Amino acid sequence: MKLRRLACILLLALLILPAPARADVVVPGQKPPRNEQSEAFIKLYADSITAWDTAYDHAFDGVEELVLWRYPNSGQVTGTVDTGWFENGESLSNNFSDCYRDDQGRFWGYIGYIYGRRMSWVCLTDPSNADLPADPIVTEMVNKEVAAMLWRENLVPIFLVASIVTATGVLLYVFWYRKKRAK
């Protein structure tokens, strides 16, 4: 009976622990989903990423829809955005913070947050093209870095849970089994 109570308490504790949101729809008060691949790309290519160049402030003239990418040369489109939000004379530098030039000579602009998406990239050279091919070298490096990042982030919680389970086992042995042996 006591073991069942302990198991229920442990399961309840695991349910109460906060879990990150993984929804495509962002509700008020909720953080948008993370973009681990873009974080890894920025970490890997930090030397090649430069500040926004105002020469690209007119990159979207005549373009109706922007294609958002997970990261440059990823081959993964995360969505599209109407360019109407730039029509009020707003400079692109208010929304884009960084630029990157890939090996094919394409320029990419980085947006930290846009319409519920974090860390998106737009190909400034061809902003409405959704058929840009993925670069296998870049994707392989980014995927390896994402795996390493997630492992580093999950190491502490795994260690804490393992420590709690071990401590619980030791305490059960000390207080429960010894008590039974003493009788």
Q: Beta-carbon neighbour count of residue 100 at 10 Å?
A: 20
Beta-bridged to residue 116, according to DSSP, are none
Q: What is the DSSP string of the chain?
A: -HHHHHHHHHHHHHHHS------SSPPTT-PPPP-HHHHHHHHHTTTT-EEPPGGGTTTTTT--EEEEESSTT---EEEEEEGGGGTTT--GGGTEEEEEE-TTS-EEEEEEEETTEEEEEEESSSTT---PPP-HHHHHHHHHHHHHHHHHHHHHHHHHHHHHHHHHHHHHIIIIIHHHHH-
pLDDT for position 24: 47
* Per-residue pLDDT, 90: 58
* Position 6 in a domain: no
Q: Give the separation between CA 46 and CA 40, rounded to whole angstroms.
A: 10
Q: Domain limits at 143?
A: 32-182
Overall average pLDDT of the 96-112 stretch: 86
Q: What is the number of structural domains in the chain? A: 1
Residue 88 belongs to some domain of the structure: yes
In this structure, what token pair is assigned to residue 15?
Answer: 């349910």
CB 38 within 8 A of CB 120: yes
Looking at the domain assignment, is residue 8 inside a domain?
no
Residue 24 resides in a domain = no
- pLDDT value for 61: 75
20 domain residue, yes or no: no
- Residue 92: inside a domain: yes
**Across 29-33, 72-76, 161-165, least confident range:** 29-33
Half-sphere exposure of 42 (CA within 13 A, CB side): 19
What's the pTM value of the predicted model, to 2 decimals?
0.64
Q: Flag whether 87 is in a domain.
A: yes
- pLDDT band with cut points at 50, 70 and 90 for residue 23: very low
Question: Do 86 and 60 contact (CB within 8 A), yes or no?
Answer: yes
pLDDT at 183: 64
Asked whether residue 122 is assigned to any structural domain, the reply reads yes
